[in-house]
Structure 1
């Protein structure tokens, strides 16, 4: 990392005061946190009355808190202000949104907790909609196509928004910038939900393939950004130079961030799914009836 960038981030007192309090960001984050706390308390009271305990509930709660914090850091902290000056900081912000916050929130499975935050009448409507008999056919169809469709949408959104014309537009217009982040986050939730959403063997195998394919195409994009000797986004030339950072070095660092650490979450998820997949296969074989049991 360029020395000038390190000095600016570590010693820049003004930077650490540049928190983003945009209502369009802060209000949804605050509402999500309040709803989750309210729903979690209501759900815990119900479980205490029934005497039930759920260890997974605690782990999912931790996943939600971690995902929420990563989301807040990427959108509210001084990282957001720095992302408007350096492409590398912008890339860190996008990676936090797409490869950390989104999968953590998907693993948290917060829908049930949010439902418990609703008034009883609305909760009954929610549960009626969520009944298998209501959505079974739709879900069966979506399971068949969602992994491939989510992978394609994820790739198109990622590559499309990194096209110089669109990316430069997002740097000039804050509304377009907000749309960019919304697209990244929503498609990432869909992508990770399709990856983690089913435990069926066939779907698990497809999820592993999708994750490896995503690793490949994101690495290609990162490599293209890293090795190109021309600036993809000239808007960063002025702001990076003002900080004493070479704009091309800033671009190379951004590409490396996408290429190397940005690939790690996909690989970790692929290995985790494959390990569970193999474990279930081994367990089912161990419990299979012996072919010689009835031979005398």
Structure 2
């Protein structure tokens, strides 16, 4: 446990660990202002305002809804929060913020996939994860870096799917594989890895290890399937291009 104590584990951006039925909305004035200002700034430059607006609403939901407060108590809720941002908000924001809509080069897509993988693993390792419970700065660096990497990756995958499926296919496969590997690592770890949840899961009917396993399964199944679907779509596109070329 190191220097970690129960008292310090409660000093988090999203508040105290809630009991069942007690998760609260996050009414942080500065967060609300930042979300509103960011949307206003992006609105005038958006290529697809509908996608931008829906993506922004989903991003706000992940940060403002009781999911934020619940993530203090449950590792699985933190993973769920990340999946809402990375699998729902980020692809829509990638479409809404992509102006002009020029696909990335294959090297750019590979670089985005590598950056996404590194950040995803780093922020789900015990040391960096604990840091986000001790420092608001670390908390926001985590969210902003994951969001930025997610938008970068989804922009490359979505905008190049029709024109460069041969570049999207390996990036989709690699991303699905690394998310599945991270999920499997968390699911099959022999002990709980995250001290902030050592005392916060029992009220929810889960041991810390069971909560971690649930988070691993969320990372493994929805995360892996989402990018496997992207890879499958790219494969279909590549086969069609080959057929038409013949």
* Class of the TM-score when normalised by the shorter of the 2 chains: 0.7 to 0.9
Tell me how far 1:283 sits from its aligned partner.
4.1
Flag structure 1 segments of 5+ consecutive residues without an equivalent. Answer: 1-7, 41-56, 113-129, 131-138, 286-296
Tell me how far 1:77 sits from its aligned partner.
0.6
Whether 1:165 and 2:127 are equivalent positions in the alignment is yes
Distance (whole Å) between structure 2 residues aligned to residue 90 and residue 152 of structure 1: 22
Q: Which residue of 2 aligns with 1:212?
A: 173
Q: Which residue of 1 aligns with 2:75?
A: 87
Whether 1:224 and 2:185 are equivalent positions in the alignment is yes
Shift in CA distance, 144/256, structure 1 to aligned 2, threshold 3 Å: closer
Shift in CA distance, 247/143, structure 1 to aligned 2, threshold 3 Å: same
Aligned-residue Cα RMSD (Å) equals 2.7
Tell me how far 1:96 sits from its aligned partner.
1.2
Q: Give the counterpart of 1:19 among 22, 25, 32.
A: 25
Distance (whole Å) between structure 2 residues aligned to residue 178 and residue 227 of structure 1: 29
Shift in CA distance, 194/226, structure 1 to aligned 2, threshold 3 Å: same
Deviations 1:253-287 (A, max 9, x none): 000000111212212222233333333444454xx
Secondary structure at 2:190 match in 1 = coil
Q: Give the counterpart of 2:60 among 57, 72, 78.
A: 72
Normalized per residue, which structure has more helix?
1
Shift in CA distance, 200/95, structure 1 to aligned 2, threshold 3 Å: closer
Distance (whole Å) between structure 1 residues aligned to residue 29 and residue 245 of structure 2: 51
Tell me how far 1:210 sits from its aligned partner.
1.1
Deviations 1:184-219 (A, max 9, x none): 111111111222233575x42121111111111111
Q: Which residue of 2 aligns with 1:174?
A: 136
TM-score after normalising by structure 1:
0.69
Tell which deviates more after alignment, 234-243 or 149-158: 234-243
Aligned residues: 228
Shift in CA distance, 155/37, structure 1 to aligned 2, threshold 3 Å: closer
